[in-house]
Amino acid sequence: MEPLGEVLKQVQGYIYPNEVELHWSLLIVVYPYVTGLVAGAFILASLVRVFNVKELQPTYRLSLLTALGYLIVAPLPLLAHLAHPERAFEIFLTPNVHSAMAMFGFVYAWYLMVVLLLEIWFDYRKDLVLWSAQEKGVRRWVHWILTLGATDLSSKAVRFDQSAGRFITIIGIPSAFLLHGYVGFIFGSVKANPWWSSVLMPIVFLFSAIVSGIALVLLLYVISTLLRSKVVDMLCLDKLASFLFYALVVDFSLEMLDFIHRLYEAEESIGILSQLVSSRLFLSLVILQALLGTILPLLMLGIISPALRGRGSLKTPDELRRLLYVAAAALIQVGIFSTRWNVVIGGQLFSKSLRGLTVYKMQLLGIEGLIVAGFLLLLPLLLLLVLIVLLPPWPEAEAHLPEAA
Amino acid sequence: MPQQLARLLVVFAVFTGGLVVTRHLLIPKTFGQRGHYRAAAVTTIQVRPLRYAGREACADCHADIVGLHGKGRHQTVSCEVCHGPAAAHTLAPVENQLPAPRKRAYCPLCHGYDPSRPTGFPQIDPVSHNPMKPCITCHNPHQPEPPHVPEECGACHGEIARTKAVSRHALLPCTQCHNTPVQHKVDPRLLHPDKPRNREFCGQCHAKDAPSPREIPRIDLATHGGRYLCWQCHYPHMPEVD
């Protein structure tokens, strides 16, 4: 429990007794942030697969593995938040179709099993078969098990892999929209909460997800390439930055639309919401989310990336451009995390009486504390490392069919 | 069928089979019989001891109070809200005495001023509303009516009327101390009511041997306050002791 006395001293105006303490803590901020990265990384992969954006090929497998690493972690913050995580599986046994929250398990299972694992499996199957043939020891067995015994490498079978992969990606795009649109839906459908209740919520979530996913893969691509002392493919990076810019423009416009709409509608909640924004959320919304997380990266990307003009409005040496891209992507991560914070925490800081504000005292230790949240944000990267070792996504690791076969 | 598809189908079949089997094993038998819950839970809850009896149960023995309560403004506040769970009391009243919240601190739980209460809900400021005394000295908890305050003078002497209304002298009509000719209300400047003139006036009620109700505090008229008039020290419309 938070030190209630401390919180009470900082409560402003009138609030109901059960609103003093926040029910959804930092972990619930981590959850939409992580699912957003999954959806975003997957949509990036589908740009290569479905929309044939050739320049992005070097990031294709990396973004799939990133999506998988984060997807495995996505339910963990929710489980850690539950008082009885061991009962969570019951939502699979006795599904309640009238509850959006109870449907999460199914949205998740569909996305994990039908979309992501299958797509990765079809994409890697040929390599798995070849790797298991060439390798020794544990790796050989692991790779062999992963083939599920489907070792047919005839050109017909390989062609089937490709068309199946393409087909799954096509299903995958609406599924990724579903996964993250769903998270927005959960918030948007809370009609008692004027900060959340908005039909735009799923769409805003979705585009911010795409933004964060692309930015993450950009970061991971640059870092992993440098760590392997390879050359960063600037063509690919420029393309990534352009897509990042487009997604950011849409995301920003939607946020502004939502904002202006609220101001114009000026419902009775507008007073307390503007008080919220100008006091409790000033740092995380105005400074972090809007200025540093959106407008600054927009300017950076707009000027140096080739998104608007053939080779960028400002010609920059590759080295510098790379650095600026990385900086913009890092800023965007901070910005999107703040976005999640502002939605989840912001939505609970004001009273339903619309007459007062409370504060959120973050815990350090404890299951809902900062340390656990930090761990949950690191865990996907560790998983990604394991996945990369297991299924190297680099072009040079790709096994080639012997010409004769 | 391509080999891949066949293998995947096996995996999915195992998964689905596993789900079907776990569902069969883990879902309680009575789940879904009456709704999205375990029907047997109802019987589990049924066997728990009853603690509340409900308002009707009181009528057998406290018919007068139930009748009073049913007519008053507290009719929506059930007996057991104030007296606590009473199931045991209805079975063996003498062995299981119920508490009655006679303390002053109790009523402001609902009536203390609080902006979140619905508009029009009767509220008072516990600090200034007739302080020190239990609320039930003036309000019957089973049929709370604000005691009627003579209001007619308040039309013109609002400030005094409002002050007096929350004072210890609340229940004294103005005319107790001011003999007021009817004409005063029509033409106030022409005819003035009188005002108490001496210490004996207040002594009618406050003197040691005055024939007034017992709860009125007493002073020794001969010595208390020396030779000053009482209202040189006590404001008569809000008599305070400190």
Between chains, do A164 and B4 touch, taking CB under 8 Å as contact?
Answer: yes
Percent over 90 (pLDDT), chain A? 67
pLDDT at B53 (0 to 100): 93
The residue ranking higher by pLDDT, A98 or B152, is A98
The DSSP H or E segment spanning A357 is strand A356-357
ipTM over 0.90: no
By C-alpha distance, the chain A residue nearest B19 is A93
pLDDT at A405 (0 to 100): 40
Between chains, do B4 and A355 touch, taking CB under 8 Å as contact?
Answer: no
Angle between helices A118-134 and A137-146 (to 10 degrees): 140
Same domain for B62 and B32: no
What is the span of the domain harbouring residue B86? Answer: 50-100
What is the mean pLDDT of the segment spanning A255-271? 92
What is the mean pLDDT of the segment spanning A196-204? 93
pLDDT at B149 (0 to 100): 59
CB contact B208 to A (< 8 Å): no
CA distances from A234 to A58, A393, A394 (A): 11, 18, 16
The residue ranking higher by pLDDT, A404 or A187, is A187
Same domain for B54 and B42: no
Angle, alpha carbons B52-B56-B58 (nearest 5°): 75
What is the mean pLDDT of the segment spanning A357-381? 92
Same domain for B126 and B78: no
Asked whether the predicted pLDDT for residue A286 surpasses 80, the reply is yes
Flag whether B29 is in a domain.
yes
Most distant CA atoms of chain B, gap in Å: 118
Asked whether the predicted pLDDT for residue A161 surpasses 70, the reply is yes
Q: Select from A89, A94, A160, A351 the residue whose CB has the most chain B CBs within 10 Å, as the one to mutate to test that interface.
A: A94
What is the mean pLDDT of the segment spanning A300-319? 84
- CA–CA min distance B111, chain A (Å): 16
Between chains, do B3 and A122 touch, taking CB under 8 Å as contact?
Answer: no
Between chains, do A149 and B7 touch, taking CB under 8 Å as contact?
Answer: yes
What is residue A12's three-state secondary structure? strand
pLDDT at A395 (0 to 100): 85
Of residues A238, A255, A246, the one with CA closest to residue A200 = A255
Between chains, do B4 and A118 touch, taking CB under 8 Å as contact?
Answer: no
What is the mean pLDDT of the segment spanning A181-191? 91
Same domain for B108 and B161: yes
Domain count, chain B: 4
CA-based R_g, chain B, Å: 33
Flag whether B125 is in a domain.
yes
Same domain for B54 and B16: no
Residues from chain B that touch A122, judged by Cβ atoms under 8 A, are: 4
Same domain for B151 and B116: yes
DSSP B141-193: TTS--PPP---GGGGT-HHHHHHHHTSTTTTS-HHHH----HHHHHSTTTSPP
Flag whether B138 is in a domain.
yes
Flag whether B189 is in a domain.
no
Calculate the average pLDDT of chain A.
91
What is the mean pLDDT of the segment spanning A202-212? 94
Asked whether the predicted pLDDT for residue A376 surpasses 70, the reply is yes
CA distance B203 to B211: 10
Same domain for B32 and B74: no
Flag whether B74 is in a domain.
yes
DSSP A292: I
With contact defined as beta carbons under 8 Å apart, do A325 and A218 qualify? yes
Same domain for B79 and B34: no
In chain A, which residues touch B (CB < 8 A)?
14, 16, 90, 92-94, 96, 113, 118, 121-122, 125, 148-152, 156-157, 160-161, 164, 353, 355
Token digits for B18?
């596993």
CA distance A264 to B107: 44
CA distance B18 to A345: 39
Q: Which of B58, B79, B100 is the last residue of a domain?
A: B100
Chain centroid, CA A402 distance in Å:
38
CA distance A203 to A181: 6
Of residues A318, A320, A332, the one with CA closest to residue A232 = A318
Q: Which of B116, B150, B165 is the last residue of a domain?
A: B165
Per run of 10 residues, the mean pLDDT along chain B (length 242 residues) is: 90 93 92 91 93 92 94 93 94 93 93 81 87 88 79 81 87 90 83 92 92 90 90 91 71
Same domain for B62 and B33: no
* CATH number for the domain harbouring residue B93: 1.10.287
CA distances from A276 to A236, A283, A351 (A): 41, 11, 10
Flag whether B75 is in a domain.
yes
Selecting from B11, B22, B116 the residue whose C-beta is nearest the C-beta of A148 gives B11
Asked whether the predicted pLDDT for residue A403 surpasses 60, the reply is no
Flag whether B110 is in a domain.
yes
Chain centroid, CA A381 distance in Å:
13
CB contact B201 to A (< 8 Å): no
Flag whether B27 is in a domain.
yes
DSSP B96: S
Same domain for B239 and B222: yes
- CA–CA min distance A94, chain B (Å): 8
pLDDT band of residue A402 (cuts 50, 70, 90) is low
Same domain for B128 and B91: no
Residues from chain B that touch A157, judged by Cβ atoms under 8 A, are: 2-4
